[in-house]
Amino acid sequence: MTTFSTRRCGPIVTDITIPGDKSISHRSAMFASLAEGRSTITGFLESEDCLSTVNAMRSLGARIEHTGKGTFVIDGCGGKFTAPTGDVDCGNSGTTMRLISGILAAQPFRSRLIGDASLSKRPMGRVINPLTEMGGHFTSEGDQPGRPPLVIDGGSLQPISYEMPVASAQVKSAILLAGLSATGETSVIEPAACRDHTERMLQEFGVALDLGVADANGRRHIAVKGPQTLKARDFAVPGDISSAAFWLVAAAAKKGSDTTIESVGLNPTRTGIISVLQRMGAKIEITPVDEKAAEPLGKVRVLGGPLQGTVIEGAEIPNVIDELPILAVAGALAQGKTIIKDAKELRVKETDRIAAVAGNLRLMGAIVTETEDGMIIEGGHPLHGATLQCFGDHRIAMAFAIAGLFADGETVIENVECVATSYPTFGATLASILTPQPGHVIAIDGPAASGKSSVSKGLAAALGYTFISSGHFYRALAWGILRDGLAQPLSTDTVNAWVKDRHLQLQDSRLLLDGDDATPYLSSADVAAMVSPIAAFPSVRDLVNSNLRALAETTNLVMEGRDIGSVVFPETPYKFYLDASPEERARRRAKEGTVDSVAERDRLDSTRATAPLKIPEGATVIDTTHLNLEQVIQAVLSHLKPRLLAD
């Protein structure tokens, strides 16, 4: 059994290249096989589903050679296939079975389409009915009417005008493919816009189509006059936006993320995922590459931040039907209510996706109400790890792997072998995001009351980084010494022996010492008085510094103190030294209710034997005397952001 194991991660700052579009890969193999002549297909998605299409076309006489990663050279049959010697195995692919039914209905031989256990449960009546109207002969051998295996006795077809009861790109495609062999005009009326890859690609392969214009209700006629034969051509498959959807949601919902998806298809009938996320408040930038291509593509950049709930319904549903599982996860991560409706189609996918998504979200702590045609998600509730089933559905598996990136504890999705049907490299990309990478450390040093703590907190919030005050670690150890009743005055031997067995751990916003939560005690007067004496011991400083450096191995940090850039992280290129006039700092201390002498504190900090206060080498010095908090944060960001983006 293969599993995905995920956990909460930090901001996702990376570039991701996604595999070729699944829908377009299917069609490229079919259309090149139908065509007259030789075509070269590049960027092809070598997933199990798409390879089922390749093998199906081979079984019908097309010569298909795999010449490199994602590259296939196809010698087409000019629309005239040969009878297969055995069953045509469609694997798990509903696209393969439904579209090839439109092709085989017109071929002068008998064929039998089979699939795996999951595909054998999926309804095929939606293509059988219109193809039968055209004169096709279908026999369903499944355990229910309209279920595979399908036996097709092909022959001459008659053109029809068919109004689809539900918008479906697969039904539309099957009818148009059958119409290529019928004498006369075959037309399809779609009740709402759905994927138009078939129309675009048929035109690329030389087929004349009448695409019509949508009326006021969104209904559109698409017509083809048969018979027509496709002409071979070379075709590049763009990246799959349905695969990109998982990373788009992950980055959009995780504060501080900056993720770019390269070379992704931007077909307008597929970009609903972007429109929905933007409506939820996601910051998304799109850079087109070639808008005049048959299938436009470009680069999509996502900046993480808070999301708000939304309503997904009506004509928008066909455009996002495959993305609804991950959009439901986005709804759980957003604030407010997200409603998905008019999506009853989800109940007859690889699994009942409405039940599967709602059930898994509940297991993770989300509040979800399942409806007949969708669900209502009360967003903003914390998620916790869980062991989940994906029910043999690749999109459920991937959606909940992403949900695990936001949950406390470990999330395990079992039996994820099905992901190979659409996105074989998903696990590798997920692992690269979960693999600890050295983080950026932004060091903020300066004397007392220079504004280090407030600025560091605001800076961390702006960047989505973790804020750390080195002083809290010293205070936790000071509390531990008081807790354990070490004799006063402290001796080097006593402190060294005590420190050796201490364990510091930052857990969310709590600081644990030996498993005990020290956080409530960090501000006490007794602890504050103990900090300076213990900070003078090298063994104490070594323990604190080793903990701080360990955090930086996996986390982007903003860290403040008096020796962060000079001693703890001298190698970080992001160093800032905040200062202010003694008078202004004294005023700030008095406002806080602190009565110690700023001058005496400066003297002690700058003359101590261990790590005295100084301006770190290479630090940017900012005088905060006449600046408010927001102005200081913006001054730091103006120096910082160009360098972070360059890295």
Catalytic positions, written as ranges: 322
DSSP-derived 3-state class of residue 283: strand
CA 312 → CA 253, 276, 328, 329, distances in Å? 18, 8, 10, 13
- What angle do the packed helices 48-59 and 94-104 form, to 10 degrees? 20
Number of helices followed by number of strands (H, E) in the chain: 21, 31
Alpha carbons 35 and 205: distance in angstroms, whole number: 7
Nearest C-alpha neighbor of 180 from the set 226, 142, 137, 143: 226
List strand residue ranges (DSSP E) for 289-325, in order: 297-303, 311-312
Structure tokens at 277: 């996320």
Q: Which two tokens stand for residue 26?
A: 């299917």
Q: How far is C-alpha 19 from the chain's CA centre?
A: 14
Alpha-helical (H) ranges within 370-491 are 394-403, 426-434, 452-463, 470-484
Report the interhelical angle of 394-403 vs 241-253 (nearest 10°): 20
Backbone dihedral region for residue 634 (phi beyond 0: left; psi -120 to 50: alpha; all else: beta): alpha
Q: What are the CA-CA distances from residue 603 to residues 317, 590, 598, 599 (Å)?
A: 67, 19, 9, 6
Asked if 354 and 122 touch (Cβ cutoff 8 Å), the reply is no
Task: Give the separation between CA 144 and CA 163, rounded to whole angstroms.
Answer: 25
Which residue carries 């960047």 as its tokens? Answer: 463
Whether the upstream peptide bond of residue 227 has omega within 30° of 0, thus cis, is yes
At 632, list the tokens. Answer: 């200081």
**What is the Cα gyration radius of the chain?**
31
DSSP secondary structure, 138-192, as one string: EEE-SSSTTPSPEEEE-------EEE-SS--HHHHHHHHHHHTTSSEEEEEEESS
Element spanning 252, H or E = helix 241-253
CA distance 638 to 543: 34
Closest CA relative to residue 153, chosen from 174, 177, 137, 175: 137
Q: Left if phi > 0, otherwise alpha if psi is -120 to 50, otherwise beta: which for 111?
A: beta
Element (H, E) at 94: helix 94-104
Contact 479, 520 (CB under 8 A): no
Minimal CA–CA distance to 179: which of 211, 157, 202? 157
Q: How many angstroms separate the CA atoms of 105 and 328, rounded? A: 38
* Distance separating alpha carbons of residues 343 and 297, to the nearest angstrom: 27
Residue type, 615: I
What would the two tokens of residue 300 be? 């999509």
Q: Per the structure block, which two tokens stand in for 160?
A: 């029809």
Q: What's the length of the chain?
A: 647
Q: What is the DSSP letter of 383?
A: P
